[in-house]
Structures are given as structure tokens and as C-alpha cells.
A and B are shown apart, each in its own frame.
Chain A
Amino acid sequence: MLKIDCQTTMHNTILNYSLSMTSESLAIMGPSGIGKTTLLDLIAGIRKPDSGKITFKDQIWFQDSPSIYVPAEKRHVGYVFQDSGLFPHLNVLDNILFGPRCLGMDDQEYSHRLLEMFGLKSLSTKKTYHLSGGEKRRVSIARALAIKPNLLLLDEPMTGLDEVNQSLIIDEIHAIKRDLNTPIILITHSRSIADRSCDRMVYMENGSLTSFD
């Protein structure tokens, strides 16, 4: 499904990524600053590799020769960043509808289904700076899913949340896999979260990934 074989430079260090994802959900673990977020940036298309190839299903997203580069806005990859990054000038519903409106997708029913799925219905008209940390994280996941992504990238979505909110997010990851059938790549520091959320786990060191299973 997703095949990455590319090279990029981060802080004068060359990172070689080689990853093949066939499972529905994959957890990537590893120490801080090792390049896990950089890998997600490369997949999402907000960072261009120096060389190599990234393919998704039968589409080439990046290739150095002959040069092919599909920009982020055309990849349909949902990306939940470490900072929730909710747009402060919009309320919860408008944040969720931002992507569909840009893409000309007018699926109000689906957006309301997401609001319900993430328990956000009562908050839909609230400005995002009034939300708690857990609520913000749920809105950012719902917003990423609203574009009906090919792939969902979650960059440490549980960080800074209490156990109750962590469990809620894990339940939502299961619901995404079960109900929406969206493949997921999750970055986490916690082995237990990775275990509870994903089908497969890999450990990253110097850009190379070692499988746990």
C-alpha cells in the first residue's frame, strides 16, 4: 500500500527511510529527535525528500528521476500534528469543514457523523480556544478525517493528555479503523499505547525501522 525508500537531510544528518506498510495500522516508536515527525512530513508532502521514491497504492507521490512530486494538497493525507493547530478564527464545526470546503466536498452528513463519533456535537459552535486539551485533540483528528483521507497520520496524539482522554483517543482509533476503514500511522513513545492501538509496531533508529513482530 505505502512504500517509502527515500533520503532526506535533517540538521546536517542524512536520514535514509525504508518502510513498507501493508497493514491497516502501524505504530512507529523511537527516541525524540530521531526523525519520526520528518517521516510523517515526507508522507504528507509538506517536506520534499532529497532523493528516492514514495508510492501509495498505484500512485507515485515522489520520485527524483524522472521528477514527480505530488503536493500535500493533492495527496489526501490526514495529518494530526503534535500541536493540535486548530484555526483560532474558526469554531469547531468550521475547523472540521475547512478541508471539505477547500476540496469542494459538500458532505454535511459525514461531518456531522464525525462530530457525533468524537463527541463534539455540543461543542460545534464553540471557538477552539475555549476547548480543553483532550477536546482540541479530538477536533484535530475529526478535522483530518473530514477530507476522507487515504491515510491518517497521528503524531503523538496522546501526549499531554490524562489517562481518560488517552483511552478515548485509543477507542477513536479503533472506531476509525472499524467504521471508516482508514489506514493509520501513529507515532508514540509508549509501547502500551502502540500495543493497544495498532496492528504492527516498528522501532526507528537513525532512519531505519526495525519491526517488533
Chain B
Amino acid sequence: MNNWQSAIKVSIFISFWATLVTAALGTCIGYHLAKKSTKYHHLKRLLETIVMLPMVLPPSIVGYILLIIIGKNGPLGQLFNLNIAFTIWAAILAAVVVSMPLMVQNAKSAFREINPIFTKISMTLGANPKQRFWKLHLPLAAPRLLSGIILSFARALGEFGATLMVAGNIPGRTQSIPLAIYFSVESGDLKTANLLTVVVLSISFIALWSINKLSKPHHEEVDHA
């Protein structure tokens, strides 16, 4: 397999699993952050700040922190006696961390935008909290959640700095498209760099294009009778 082919394969693998984890976890976090209860208010603010940090931190710092946490001598490495640094799982973790803010923000807005009257009505119709989430809140938030998922996928696909720090640049194992482009340019292999740039550009363009197409909100019924 060529270098560029394996980079595409690795990138798709990383982005797919990272998006799956980010979508599930980000939806749960966004749902809880969207709740307007005063209970655990400070804890929620703390959680949101931690989740949003990768958005403002340089990717190299995010990668370095992850390396400390998951490395052989880090807390997770010590606790579970495992070392995933410089493996594809570390690359997935880095992609999850950097794409999580996009998903959480989209999910939080999606759930906040739901007309509170729908929740009250569903309560009088006998829906318990679990049913309210699955039968009402999730379908109503779906279009915005979909935007979050697509953006997270695009972000995971383009991840560079944190991945390089925590997973390295091992061709065929952890070398994703952005890493392959960087090292191709450095080594003068512009043909591979151009090809991979076109691939990332195309995927990112299609992703952003589909957000407008797929994430149309439901026609919210608010007839102020």
C-alpha cells in the first residue's frame, strides 16, 4: 500500500471512531449543560470550561497534556497498566478531545432551542425523563446534532498538532493525512502532498455542504393563539 493510501485509511479510521465517541459523549454533555437547573451549576460551568479548553489551547499543549495523562508513567497508564501512547488509539483520543468542543456547543444549543412547552406537554402525557429524551428531545435536536457530528468529523480529519505529540508519525499506523502532507512537503514529495490536499479539501467541502442540506430544523410550531 502506498504512503498516501495508508494515510487515507488511517485518517478515516481515526475520524470514524473519534466521531462516534464524540457524538455520543458530546450529546450527553450538551444535554446536561442545556438543562437550566440551578443544581450543580458550578460543576456544570467547570465541566464546560474543561471541555472547551482544547479550542483555545495550542494543539501541541493539548497533545502534551494527553501524553502526560496516558503515557506509561501517567495516571491512566499507572491505573490501568496500559500504554496507548504512539498508537492509533492515542490518535483517536486526540481527535476526540479537539473535536469535542464543536459537538458539545452544537448539542447544548440544539437542546436549549427546544420550546420548553414541549417538555411540559410530554410530562402531562406520561413521558418519564428517559422517554422525554429519546422520543422528544433527541428527535427535535437531531438537525443541530447532525451539524455537530459533521463538524466533529471534519475537525478530527484535520487534526495535526495534538496527534503528532501523542501518537507520533508512524507510516501505516498513526500517520494521518495532515501528518502525511506535512512530511511529504518537508521531504519534497509534492505529488503526494497535492493529492492528499485534494482529498481533505473534497471531504471537508462535502461535509460543510451537507450541513446546510441535512441540518434543516423542524418547523417549530409556535402559534401564539
- The chain A residues found within 8 Å of chain B, CB to CB, are 44-46, 71-79, 81-89, 98-99, 101-103, 127-129, 133, 136-137, 143-144, 146-147, 156, 159-161
Contacts and interface: CB of A to CB of B under 8 A. Distances in A.
Contacts of B127: 73, 98-99, 102
10 contacts: A45-B124, A79-B124, A85-B118, A85-B221, A98-B125, A98-B135, A99-B126, A127-B219, A144-B125, A160-B223
A44 B136 CA distance: 19
B225 A159 contact: yes
Nearest to A137: B225
Given A98-B135, A133-B223, A85 B115 contact: yes
B224 A78 contact: no
B1 interface: no
Interface residues of B, number: 26
Given A73-B127, A99-B126, A81 B223 contact: no
A87 B136 contact: yes
A83 B120 contact: no
Interface of B: 115, 117-118, 120-128, 131, 135-136, 139-140, 142, 218-225
B124 to A, nearest CB: 4
Contacts of B115: 83, 85
Nearest to B124: A79
A87 B136 CA distance: 8
A129 B115 CA distance: 15
Given A46-B120, A88-B140, A98-B135, A83 B222 contact: yes
A143 B118 CA distance: 13
Contacts of B218: 88-89
Which are the 8 A-B pairs with shortest beta-carbon distances? A99-B125, A160-B225, A129-B219, A72-B123, A88-B218, A103-B126, A79-B124, A102-B127
A133 B221 contact: no
A45 B123 contact: yes
Contacts of B118: 85, 87
Nearest to A101: B135
B132 to A, nearest CB: 9
Nearest to B130: A102
B223 A136 contact: yes
B225 A133 contact: yes
B125 A88 contact: no
Nearest to B125: A99
Contacts of A46: 120, 123-124
